[in-house]
A and B are shown apart, each in its own frame.
Chain A
Amino acid sequence: MIEVQNLTKRYGDKKAVDNISFTVNKGEILGFLGPNGAGKSTTMNILTGYLSSTEGVAKIGEYDVLENPLEAKKHIGYLPEHPPLYLDMTVRDYLDFIYDLKRCKIPRKSHIGEICRLVRIEEVYNRIIKNLSKGYKQRVGLAQALIGNPEVLILDEPTVGLDPKQIIDIRNLIKRLGKNHTVILSSHILPEVQAVCDRVVVINKGIIVADDTADNLSRQLSTDHKLVVRIEGPEAEVRKLLTSVPNMQSVVLLGEREKGVFEYSLEAKEGSDVRREIFNRLSNRSFPLLGMKTSEMTLEDVFLTLIDDKSKGGKK
């Protein structure tokens, strides 16, 4: 449904997007993951025809965005990073305007009413957009993208500025929309992409570092072999015990957290799971295990891991 081939966007000497290619199949939800400034918004702006690419092709369905922009744009609903709202209009007037702008053929009243119900903005329908909270503004932005029931939805960080409950609502909504729309969604939050998307494209500094299913990516990024544990007992003995666990590569003391309780950072061989072994050994010696967690992966770690894998030729 969406096809991107060797897309490059240059701003002067700087390449915002560097020769990226990917496709999105019909009915798929694709996550576009990357830190700020990675080129996510630029790519989305090119796909929607707001910017043009320096090189390469972007196609929506069978239509090239550059050669046949009007046809391509008819099939896209776009929520930019900053929702394009006319602040001096009421939600009603604004959505009416967007409806006219997109030259919708669907019956106006029922279509707009349905969208408002879907994104839950009925209660602010007659208010001026300027006075709405950030969460509502974001949802009006989403409503605007949904008008005309486009086959392709391109959503640039749709959950930014929402409270946790709204985030869950919007994620569920996107999942539901994904059943009969093709969706590209960008985010800099790994769990969000994992929760919502079928497939994930990871982008950093304008280059794609991974393109895989969400499940595969989670497996690849699994951190079960990196643990932080908190154990009560004399440091030297505990350390010796931990080091003797098979596959253990490093044991680093992080410090004394309570009296006689120490925290250690452990790293075992990649792909091995040492959690049960640690528990068994500690309980044999009656050293109470007070806490164990897998160390959390930051987006930075994700890139390092992925780039590392790639350079080892480990891209599956």
Chain B
Amino acid sequence: MGAIIKREMSSYFSSPIGYIYLAVFYLFAGFFFYMTTLQAGSTDLRGVFINLFSVLMFLIPILTMRLISEDKRQKTDQALLTAPLTLGGLVFGKFIAAFIIFAMGVAVTLVFAVVVSFFAQPDWAVVLSNMLGLLLLGGALISIGLFISSLTENQVIAAIGSFAALMFLSFIDSIAAAIPISFLSTIVKGFSFYEPYNTLTMGKIGLSPILFFISVALLFNYLTIRVFERRRWS
């Protein structure tokens, strides 16, 4: 697994993808930080995190699009799958590599918190809860992108597919609101990614949003492993 993480991480920076992701992430985060915190003269970073939710919807597919599709296209999966490595090790290795790059983006919010702390003491518990929420959300979205990347050999299709899936996820709340039957609406709302994320950005570290995101990540990584297994048996 270590070998996979190392290779994938270096591959992010031997191609423009890693740089583009970080640049765009920093750009938007910086913009939201300026608009919602500095401009407003507040020490509250919530605005940054709430806005980053939608930014992830189009940035995560960039991180995950080539993770598995490119291996299929270049047939390097033959080296990976015939090496003494479990499928779990392979999939989680790829997942962790993408997650580390993602976390390098999130780390910039720590800088914001430090900047704010020069003016007034921020509520560190809330800041940490926000960062935790963003990391968990990112992990769940990466696992979805990774899964979609395992379904195709074409990284553009993987990117557009993930983009569409994540966009759809971000609309779940509006869809739930539009359903008139109340119990159906509640069920659909249960799939909302925004709801648990919002809970965390308010500084309420509860078990249920944390478990929600971790379950989503585990579920989709498991499905990715199944895709590999199914291909072997087909």
**In the complex, what residues of B have CB within 8 A of residue A98's CB?**
79, 83
Residues of B within 8 A of A101 (CB): 3-4, 79-80, 83, 85
Q: A87 contacts the other chain (Cβ, under 8 Å)?
A: yes
Measured CB to CB, the closest approach of chain A to B7, in angstroms, equals 5
Contact across chains for A50 and B4 when beta carbons are under 8 A apart: no
Which of chain A's residues 62-108 have a Cβ closer than 8 Å to chain B?
Answer: 70-71, 73-74, 76, 78, 80, 82, 84-89, 93, 97-98, 100-103
A49–B228 Cα gap in the complex (Å)? 12
Indicate if the CB atoms of A50 and B81 lie closer than 8 Å.
yes
A84→B75 contact, CB < 8 A: yes
A243 at the binding interface (Cβ < 8 Å): no
Q: Which of A73, A82, A103 contacts B75 (CB 8 A)?
A: A82
CB-based contact B76/A85 at 8 Å: yes
A50-B232, A102-B84 known; A84+B3 contact, CB < 8 A: no
Q: At the interface, yes or no: A52 with Cβ under 8 Å from chain B?
A: yes
Given contacts A70-B84, A73-B84, contact A89 B14 (CB under 8 A): yes
Complex Cα–Cα for A280 and B195 (A):
99
Cβ contact of A144, chosen from B6, B14, B15, B79, cutoff 8 A:
B79
What band does the interface of chain B fall in when counting residues whose beta carbon is under 8 Å from A?
Answer: 20 to 34
Q: Check if B182 is an interface residue, CB within 8 A of chain A.
A: no
List chain B residues, Cβ under 8 A from A86: 7, 11, 74, 76
Identify which of residues 154-172 in chain B touch chain A, using a CB-to-CB cut-off of 8 Å: none
Question: B117 within 8 Å of A by Cβ?
Answer: no
A84 touching B15, Cβ below 8 Å: no
Q: Is B42 an interface residue (CB 8 A)?
A: no
Distance from A86 Cβ to chain B, minimum over Cβ atoms (Å): 6
Q: Are A84 and B84 in contact (CB under 8 A)?
A: no
Task: From the candidates B14, B82, B86, name the one contacting A76 in the complex (CB within 8 A).
Answer: B82
Chain B, residue nearest A94 (CB): B7
Q: How far is the CA of A219 from the CA of B82 in the complex (A)?
A: 37
Q: Which of B1-48 contact A (CB under 8 A)?
A: 2-4, 6-7, 10-11, 14-15
A48 at the interface (CB under 8 A from B): yes
Q: Is B118 an interface residue (CB 8 A)?
A: no
Is the CB of A51 closer than 8 A to any CB of chain B?
Answer: yes
A228 to B85, CA, bound (A): 56
Contact of A73 among B4, B10, B83 (CB under 8 A): B83
What are 5 inter-chain pairs, A to B, with CB distance below 8 A?
Answer: A45-B78, A50-B82, A87-B74, A100-B6, A101-B80
| A interface residue numbers (CB < 8 A to B) | 11, 45, 48-52, 70-71, 73-74, 76, 78, 80, 82, 84-89, 93, 97-98, 100-103, 144
In the A-B complex, the 4 residue pairs with the smallest Cβ-Cβ separation, listed nearest first, are A100-B3, A84-B79, A48-B82, A101-B3
